[in-house]
Amino acid sequence: MTRPLELHPDRLFPADPTTRDIARTLYAEIGALPIVSPHGHTDPTWFATDAKWDNATTLLLAPDHYVFRMLYSQGIALDDLRIPHRGGVPGTYPRAAWKLFASHYELFRGTPSRLWLDHVFAEVFGFDVRLDADTADLYFDTITDRLAGDDFRPRALFDRFRIDFLATTEGAHDSLDAHHAIRASGWKGRVVTTYRPDGVIDVEHEQFKGAMETFAALTGEDVYSWSGYLAAHRKRRADFRAAGATATDHGHATAQTANLSTAECEALFAKIVGGTWDAADAELFRAQMLTEMAKMSVADGMVMQIHPGSYRNHNAGLFASHGRDKGADIPVRTEYTRALQPMLDVVGNERDLTIILFTLDESVYARELAPMAGHYPCLKLGPAWWFHDSPEGMRRYRELTTETAGFYNTVGFNDDTRAFLSIPARHDVARRVDCAFLARLVAEHRIEDWEALELAHELTDGLVRKAYKL
Amino acid sequence: MTRPLELHPDRLFPADPTTRDIARTLYAEIGALPIVSPHGHTDPTWFATDAKWDNATTLLLAPDHYVFRMLYSQGIALDDLRIPHRGGVPGTYPRAAWKLFASHYELFRGTPSRLWLDHVFAEVFGFDVRLDADTADLYFDTITDRLAGDDFRPRALFDRFRIDFLATTEGAHDSLDAHHAIRASGWKGRVVTTYRPDGVIDVEHEQFKGAMETFAALTGEDVYSWSGYLAAHRKRRADFRAAGATATDHGHATAQTANLSTAECEALFAKIVGGTWDAADAELFRAQMLTEMAKMSVADGMVMQIHPGSYRNHNAGLFASHGRDKGADIPVRTEYTRALQPMLDVVGNERDLTIILFTLDESVYARELAPMAGHYPCLKLGPAWWFHDSPEGMRRYRELTTETAGFYNTVGFNDDTRAFLSIPARHDVARRVDCAFLARLVAEHRIEDWEALELAHELTDGLVRKAYKL
Amino acid sequence: MTRPLELHPDRLFPADPTTRDIARTLYAEIGALPIVSPHGHTDPTWFATDAKWDNATTLLLAPDHYVFRMLYSQGIALDDLRIPHRGGVPGTYPRAAWKLFASHYELFRGTPSRLWLDHVFAEVFGFDVRLDADTADLYFDTITDRLAGDDFRPRALFDRFRIDFLATTEGAHDSLDAHHAIRASGWKGRVVTTYRPDGVIDVEHEQFKGAMETFAALTGEDVYSWSGYLAAHRKRRADFRAAGATATDHGHATAQTANLSTAECEALFAKIVGGTWDAADAELFRAQMLTEMAKMSVADGMVMQIHPGSYRNHNAGLFASHGRDKGADIPVRTEYTRALQPMLDVVGNERDLTIILFTLDESVYARELAPMAGHYPCLKLGPAWWFHDSPEGMRRYRELTTETAGFYNTVGFNDDTRAFLSIPARHDVARRVDCAFLARLVAEHRIEDWEALELAHELTDGLVRKAYKL
């Protein structure tokens, strides 16, 4: 039995009529504003080459670990979903993989993936029936068809999605060729990079050695001396700024920072590059580098983003067979109050510095992050992240942070995605959930309706532009 | 002044009319389904002997630590409530104890005990006035009266409650005589056991030595050698399966697991049985045994339940006077991401294994448990447990786990109770809270009404049967 | 554009009409009850001298770290707000500071400060337009004007606010002169002190040495011997009781307690006063002193309050320039289950002792505090504290504690404030949020309407008087 697919205009608004009406009114004002996406993981070569995507499985299933992790958790083999492994792409037909996914689509009930995918299906591809085993072929054929049209090339979709700003993320050892090609092409879309130096900071990363070699080659600095290493960071930050970047990003295991003397830094760095480090040295080096990056941000004005708390590659067997980013990163408890203090001792009272904090540990929202962001001039709160980029997650974020940090110490929404087609869907969910939250404050007479409207604009557009210096 | 007792048909549904109507419709479909109770602590001798209970105090007050802990917290002496201590049963008259309880019944306002007890009073005993000091005698006399009838014997109530499956819990050193007697009696009620080997795994338990002796006697194995000890577990698991068990249960202090070599296991086990262990050895042995049990589950198909995070017998004075299970077990912060990894390295990607995780630490729902259950094929999430088996606790459970783990990585409801008469009440609360949650998703247009109905069936009946292999 | 200021009669009630009506009915019964404030930080000299306050900035801005921390977080200099630093009061004009605050008043949207301030503006000063840049002068002038009248002296406001009981907090080394002056004046207002001995217990506090000297002088005891030190505490507790105190208060870094032998105490104390202690000794001494204070409370009947979990003076630069209590105290994760056990081993089962626990770590409400308060006779739960003294914070508190601890193991509301004018506002918020919570329980048929009314009285008036022995 084929079921109709319709996106309800009131979706994600509270059922109470008074509150829903307020939410509707707010959303009517901001729902269609252009998209500002200051943090994400789309591939810049898409916009550099503007090449067509080929089919639904390659575009929507294979790169989306939110989706295939859920299927895997229910005993479905990744090979049957045509998820690439270290040896290459499995021989499964794309259509067969798609059909397998479609026939288990009920697994996503109640998840944000379901909301995003339905939005993509209805709004981007125009489907009016739901995805299931019966409609799998229709979906696969229609999507393949559409992707063959020029109006589904990356740049055309970028315009259609009304994206005003899109940041990607590249390593310190990235050539930035794709970004240079975008600029050279004369295309007007604003796609910029973000400086993510983890590869040359985290000595426990398997690519550290190679990344350092490229880092040396790209900068011409002696990256194996402490001063040369710092100079290389400064050069690359300048390269990234020249390519449009306004921000850096740091994905560390913990939020630990340090404040070592130069002599201590030199001794530590010698161990790191000399290969005589242990796990505590590796952690201390990452900690010290957050402070170094903060100091460089004071100097060059780049906004700093800290994303700690994910235990990467938790599933050892899967990492061996399939490598990174396969849905097996699991959050851990994360401490911020003590961890950030060494860095804040150095830069905490800087008014022109912006450090944006993210977390996967919601227990710190009200306890640690909101009190710090509600005091330190340099600190702002990033939006609900990763597993918490969801209706309930965003609601908890506002409920747990607003009373202590206010709205103005937050920075709008990040879609944080490599799933390009879902970007409008993700921003739409965030806008709806924010309108619902503001509507409740109005309905409970905690703020006035005109204040909620101002805030809706700030949460959608104003705060992100200010925080990321756009 | 006597107050009427009525169970409102809309109890636990949201007040918003739209959402309430949806919840009603869902509940109308699943509210009366038979009860599947895969995890609990009723006494199998009740069903073996089918003997009558004698009075309200013995049946409803003395065994229910949810109830007498609250009274104790307000300064009421356990002796005055006729709670058994190590020396026996206090001389307090059952009627006097009941009256003391009744005259403090207001203490339970807002607690799940109140919901369960009122359900028992109204539905099982037919009261239409509320319990208080004035009605205490009426209650006591009426209950005593009813319990004298054949229709209040355990098997009659089992049928009246429409229980389709009921699991009890027995130690590895239990003879299973009661279960054998149930089978031998020819009674058709499906009451089965669960393998709970903590007594022969936790060397810090005061009964370890005695339990090991019985374990040796029951199996005929040399349980003081590592290989004999494992063989004894295998034999007893087979005994339990023969008595109908489909699951094992593990109530450890932490979720720690380990993955030692055979030589390391042998050395550790020698310390455990040799009495030369320290606290770290005891913990490591429990950790290793979770992995051993998981491996045996791969082999024999038994579902594995892990219940960590309770600090048992926190009140030393009370433990000295009254022993275990007197309401003085207090939860502690519990870590899962790192703790489970050694076991998951061994069995994490097994598709036919089911490990059900429980927690008393709600901060791990969204942070650790849902991400792991939403990835690992072997992991499922048990329902809200113990202190969290309550309307708010169950609501938080759904809000915090669904978006990342989905509904299909959960396993329905566990009543986990030794209070037999409250089993229908507890399942009813769970069904109502689940319908309320699903209704909100429908009212906010996050799922369709027909999906909510399918899910209501799954949460009540489908998932529990699948997870526990019934 | 000037905006009207009106306090909506339904503020903080849920929007759902059924629930809102129940909340209104409850609030109508208890909203106007006299204020009982058993824990706060107002200055007793206000009531001793009954001197007039001078202007809006001195009265409302400079002492309120909830307010200026938010402004500081947005890059506003404390000097520009006329916040006193170690060198004295900055030269900024009070009117200029007020105007700066007013022109950033939007920062407080969604915060409790906004609710409290608007209440003060409307109810205490009679404003009917909102504070903003345009009305800043009007506000400043009007407030200055009003403060010049006799009806705005501290005692007049105390009466106008209908405060029935107000506790302040003084150190063990305080002379209590202000409280003696209040008594000697013949004024009938019940303003009493609270014994807060942290200054002579926390050897890491910079004022420890001086406090000990005053402690010795005030008691005539040899406070540098263990027995003399304990005797001095007993004397001062008696002094405080004579001045009306019914409670003690303990603001420790952690909840750690200890149960040392007398010989161990003497050895530890010798290190503390001998200056040979390390951080672990300082912590152990604080831990032991909680147990000593609990034992003294058993003897003298004083209620004991424990407020752990704040990392004081987190911003080292700000502490150097401005000193303590400048909005830079940041909560840390706090453990209670294991930490409190040594003390509970000694006094846990005392029925006539009351220990009130507070937390800044909401993750312990349901996991640790409610289970302990729902068992131990001596333990009660203090209300949502500090950053959590807010509508969402109070709602979470009830949702997370009620099902396990019940209502009767809580103790009503604490305003915990040095902002005297905001006391009615804070109690009003608490009463409204409690009525909203009770209304939801009624609307969901979890309690009866008459029970909610009894509970509304208990939460507003009954429990606080009982817990604090008023």
The tens digit of pLDDT for each residue in B160-190 reads 999 999 999 999 999 999 999 999 999 999 9
Distances (CA, A) of C132 to A81, A140, A446, C103, C419: 58, 57, 17, 5, 21
Distances (CA, A) of A185 to A165, A243, B244, C430: 17, 14, 71, 61
Whether residues A144 and A164 share a domain: the answer is no
Can you read off the two tokens belonging to residue B424? Answer: 């229908």
Q: How far apart are CA C322 and CA C329, in angstroms?
A: 13
Whether residues B25 and B65 share a domain: the answer is no
The shortest C-alpha distance from A15 to chain C (Å) reads 9
Residues from chain C that touch A447, judged by Cβ atoms under 8 A, are: 109-110, 114
Is residue A402 in some structural domain? yes
Is residue B228 in some structural domain? yes
**CA neighbor of B103 nearest in space, from B76, B80, B132:** B132
Size of interface B-C (CB pairs under 8 A): 129
Quick: pLDDT tens for C248-273: 999 999 999 999 999 999 999 999 99
The shortest C-alpha distance from B402 to chain A (Å) reads 6
DSSP alpha helix (H) spans, B148-278: 154-160, 177-185, 208-219, 226-242, 262-274
Whether residues B175 and B285 share a domain: the answer is yes
Q: Residue B69: which of C338, C374, C399 has the nearest Cβ?
A: C374
Minimum Cα–Cα distance from C376: chain B residue: B73
Whether residues A115 and A177 share a domain: the answer is no
Does residue B307 contact residue B264 with C-beta atoms inside 8 Å? no
Total domain count, chain C: 2
- Name C270's Cβ contacts closer than 8 Å, sequence gap at least 6: C226
pLDDT, mean of residues C371-389: 98
| End position of a domain, from candidates C97, C123, C152 | C152
Q: How far apart are CA A84 and CA A78, in angstroms?
A: 8
Phi and psi (nearest 5°) for B159?
-70, -45
The shortest C-alpha distance from C309 to chain A (Å) reads 10
With H, G, I as helix, E, B as strand and everything else as coil, classify residue A138.
helix
Buried b / exposed e across A184-193, counting CB within 10 Å, b at 16+?
A: eeebebbbbb
Q: Residue B314: which of C335, C337, C445 has the nearest Cβ?
A: C337
Can you read off the two tokens belonging to residue B69? Answer: 């802990």
Does residue A202 contact residue A282 with C-beta atoms inside 8 Å? yes
ipTM associated with this complex:
0.97
User: pLDDT value at position A315?
Assistant: 97
CATH code, domain carrying A41: 3.20.20.140
CB-CB neighbours of A38 under 10 Å: 27
Contact at CB, C402 and B111, closer than 8 angstroms: yes
Contact at CB, B109 and C451, closer than 8 angstroms: yes
Can you read off the two tokens belonging to residue C185? Answer: 């004046």
**CA neighbor of A29 nearest in space, from A439, A440, A447:** A439
The per-residue pLDDT of chain B, averaged, comes to: 97
Can you read off the two tokens belonging to residue B426? Answer: 């507890």
pLDDT in tens, chain A (470 residues): 789 999 999 999 999 999 999 999 999 999 999 999 999 999 999 999 999 999 999 999 998 999 999 999 999 999 999 999 999 999 999 999 999 999 999 999 999 999 999 999 999 999 999 999 999 999 999 999 999 999 999 999 999 999 999 999 999 999 999 999 999 999 999 999 999 999 999 999 989 999 999 999 999 999 999 999 999 999 999 999 999 999 999 999 999 999 999 999 999 999 999 999 999 999 999 999 999 999 999 999 999 999 999 999 999 999 999 999 999 999 999 999 999 999 999 999 999 999 999 999 999 999 999 999 999 999 999 999 999 999 999 999 999 999 999 999 999 999 999 999 999 999 999 999 999 999 999 999 999 999 999 999 999 999 999 999 99
| End position of a domain, from candidates C152, C183, C210 | C152
Whether residues B72 and B105 share a domain: the answer is yes
- Name B184's Cβ contacts closer than 8 Å, sequence gap at least 6: none
The residue with tokens 């909610």 is C452
Q: How far apart are CA C19 and CA C437, in angstroms?
A: 9
Whether residues A416 and A366 share a domain: the answer is yes
Size of interface A-C (CB pairs under 8 A): 130
The residue with tokens 């602590």 is B41
Can you read off the two tokens belonging to residue C20? Answer: 């809102």
DSSP code per residue over A224-251: TSHHHHHHHHHHHHHHHHHTT--EEEE-
Does residue A381 contact residue A357 with C-beta atoms inside 8 Å? yes
Confidence of residue C309 (pLDDT cuts 50, 70, 90): very high
Whether residues A78 and A47 share a domain: the answer is no
| End position of a domain, from candidates A149, A184, A204 | A149
Does residue A126 contact residue A97 with C-beta atoms inside 8 Å? no
Contact at CB, C330 and A377, closer than 8 angstroms: no
Quick: pLDDT tens for B78-130: 999 999 999 999 999 999 999 999 999 999 999 999 999 999 999 999 999 99
The shortest C-alpha distance from A390 to chain B (Å) reads 7
Q: Residue A444: which of C14, C362, C388 has the nearest Cβ?
A: C14
Q: How far apart are CA B125 and CA B139, in angstroms?
A: 9
Is residue A7 in some structural domain? no
H or E element that contains C166: strand C163-167
Is residue C8 in some structural domain? no
Minimum Cα–Cα distance from C118: chain A residue: A446
User: pLDDT value at position B328?
Assistant: 94
Q: How far apart are CA B94 and CA B55, in angstroms?
A: 8
- Is the pLDDT confidence value at C81 over 80? yes
**CA neighbor of C231 nearest in space, from C175, C299, C157, C135:** C299
Can you read off the two tokens belonging to residue B231? Answer: 């063989």
Range of the domain at B372: 17-51+153-467
Is residue B11 in some structural domain? no
Q: How far apart are CA A311 and CA A321, in angstroms?
A: 18
Half-sphere exposure of B283 (CA within 13 A, CB side): 9
Residues from chain B that touch C338, judged by Cβ atoms under 8 A, are: 311, 332
Does residue C455 contact residue C438 with C-beta atoms inside 8 Å? yes
Is residue B438 in some structural domain? yes
Contact at CB, C363 and B360, closer than 8 angstroms: no
Residues from chain A that touch B368, judged by Cβ atoms under 8 A, are: 330-332
The shortest C-alpha distance from A2 to chain B (Å) reads 13
CATH code, domain carrying A138: 1.10.2020.10
With H, G, I as helix, E, B as strand and everything else as coil, classify residue A270.
helix
Residues from chain B that touch A362, judged by Cβ atoms under 8 A, are: 363, 366-367
Distances (CA, A) of A449 to A440, A455, C3: 11, 10, 12
Residue A331 pairs with which residues in a beta bridge? A310
Whether residues B236 and B266 share a domain: the answer is yes
Whether residues B195 and B68 share a domain: the answer is no
Q: How far apart are CA B62 and CA C323, in angstroms?
A: 56
Is residue A3 in some structural domain? no
Phi and psi (nearest 5°) for A407?
-80, -30
Burial of B209 (0-12, 13-18, 19+ CB in 10 A): exposed
Whether residues C244 and C120 share a domain: the answer is no
User: pLDDT value at position B1?
Assistant: 72
Whether residues B396 and B294 share a domain: the answer is yes
**CA neighbor of B379 nearest in space, from B293, B458, B306, B296:** B306
Minimum Cα–Cα distance from B317: chain C residue: C345
The residue with tokens 């009061």 is C89
Q: How far apart are CA C435 and CA C165, in angstroms?
A: 22
Structural Rg of chain A based on CA atoms: 23
Residues from chain A that touch B406, judged by Cβ atoms under 8 A, are: 70, 107-111
User: pLDDT value at position A32?
Assistant: 98
Is residue C10 in some structural domain? no
Contact at CB, B404 and A387, closer than 8 angstroms: yes
Half-sphere exposure of C380 (CA within 13 A, CB side): 26
Q: How far apart are CA C115 and CA C11, in angstroms?
A: 10
Can you read off the two tokens belonging to residue A287? Answer: 């900690």
DSSP alpha helix (H) spans, B406-458: 423-443, 449-457
- Is the pLDDT confidence value at B144 over 80? yes
Q: Residue A374: which of C8, C11, C69 has the nearest Cβ?
A: C69
Structural Rg of chain B based on CA atoms: 23
Contact at CB, C111 and A19, closer than 8 angstroms: no
Q: Residue B74: which of C16, C408, C450 has the nearest Cβ?
A: C408
The shortest C-alpha distance from B405 to chain A (Å) reads 7
Contact at CB, C363 and A368, closer than 8 angstroms: no
The shortest C-alpha distance from C441 to chain B (Å) reads 7
- Is the pLDDT confidence value at C188 over 90? yes
Contact at CB, B337 and A317, closer than 8 angstroms: no
Does residue C37 contact residue C166 with C-beta atoms inside 8 Å? yes
CA angle B195, B196, B200 (to 5 degrees): 120
Pairing state of beta strands C163-167 and C35-37? parallel
User: pLDDT value at position C177?
Assistant: 97
Burial of A424 (0-12, 13-18, 19+ CB in 10 A): buried
Whether residues C226 and C125 share a domain: the answer is no
Q: How far apart are CA B390 and CA B429, in angstroms?
A: 8
Confidence of residue C1 (pLDDT cuts 50, 70, 90): confident
Confidence of residue C292 (pLDDT cuts 50, 70, 90): very high
Terminal CA-to-CA distance of chain A, rounded, Å? Answer: 49
